[in-house]
Amino acid sequence: MKRIAVLTSGGDAPGMNAAVRAVVRKGLYEGMEVYGINYGYAGLVAGDIRKLTRRDVGDKISRGGTFLYSARYPEFATEEGQLKGIEQLEKFGIEGLVVIGGDGSYRGGLALTRHGFPAIGLPGTIDNDIPGTDFCIGFDTAINTVLDSVDKIRDTATSHVRTFIIEVMGRNAGDIALWTGVAGGAEQIIIPEKEFNMTDVANTIQKGRERGKKHSIIILAEGVMSGNDFADKLAEFGDHHARVTVLGHVQRGGSPTARDRVLASVFGAKAVDLLKEGKGGLAVGLVGNKIAENKFEDILTNEKHTPDLSLYQLNKEISY
173 and 248, same structural domain? yes
Mean pLDDT computed over 137-166: 94
Which pLDDT score is estimated for 24?
98
- Pick 211 or 196 by higher pLDDT: 196
**pLDDT greater than 90 at residue 173:** yes
**pLDDT greater than 80 at residue 320:** no
Mean pLDDT computed over 156-165: 88
Lowest pLDDT segment from 107-121, 171-185, 231-245: 231-245
- Supply the range of the domain harboring residue 205: 141-253
Cα–Cα distance for residue pair 296/301, rounded to 1 Å: 8
Which pLDDT score is estimated for 241?
86
User: Helix, strand, or coil here: 18?
Assistant: helix
159 and 130, same structural domain? no
- With respect to residue 309, please indicate whether it lies within any of the assigned structural domains: no
- Please give the distance of CA 192 from its chain centroid, rounded to a whole number: 17
What is the tally of structural domains in the chain?
Answer: 2
62 and 119, same structural domain? yes
- With respect to residue 289, please indicate whether it lies within any of the assigned structural domains: yes
76 and 12, same structural domain? yes
Which pLDDT score is estimated for 116?
94
Which pLDDT score is estimated for 210?
85
Mean pLDDT computed over 100-127: 96
Please write the tens of the pLDDT for every residue from 56-87: 999 999 999 999 999 888 899 999 999 999 99
CATH number of the domain at 170, please: 3.40.50.460
CATH number of the domain at 65, please: 3.40.50.450
297 and 213, same structural domain? no
Q: Which of 12, 48, 103, 127 is catalytic?
A: 127
Which pLDDT score is estimated for 157?
85
146 and 80, same structural domain? no
- With respect to residue 318, please indicate whether it lies within any of the assigned structural domains: no
112 and 12, same structural domain? yes
61 and 32, same structural domain? yes
- With respect to residue 161, please indicate whether it lies within any of the assigned structural domains: yes
Mean pLDDT computed over 83-95: 97
130 and 20, same structural domain? yes
127 and 23, same structural domain? yes
CB atoms within 10 A of CB 280: 21
- With respect to residue 266, please indicate whether it lies within any of the assigned structural domains: yes
Which pLDDT score is estimated for 1?
87
Name the pairing type of β-strands 216-221 and 290-295.
Answer: unpaired
Edge to edge, the sheet with strand 163-168 lists 188-190, 216-221, 163-168, 242-246
- With respect to residue 320, please indicate whether it lies within any of the assigned structural domains: no
Q: Which of 253, 279, 313 is a domain's end point?
A: 253
Residue-averaged pLDDT of the chain: 95
Query: Do 231 and 165 meet the contact criterion of CB atoms below 8 Å apart?
Result: yes
Which pLDDT score is estimated for 81?
95
Cα–Cα distance for residue pair 148/132, rounded to 1 Å: 29
- With respect to residue 314, please indicate whether it lies within any of the assigned structural domains: no
Q: Where are the beta strands (DSSP E) in the chain?
A: 3-8, 33-37, 49-52, 96-101, 119-123, 163-168, 188-190, 216-221, 242-246, 282-287, 290-295
221 and 198, same structural domain? yes
Mean pLDDT computed over 129-134: 95
Task: Look at residues 129, 250, 233, 229 and name the one whose alpha carbon lies nearest to residue 179.
Answer: 129
231 and 134, same structural domain? no
Would residue 127 show up in a list of annotated catalytic residues for this protein? yes
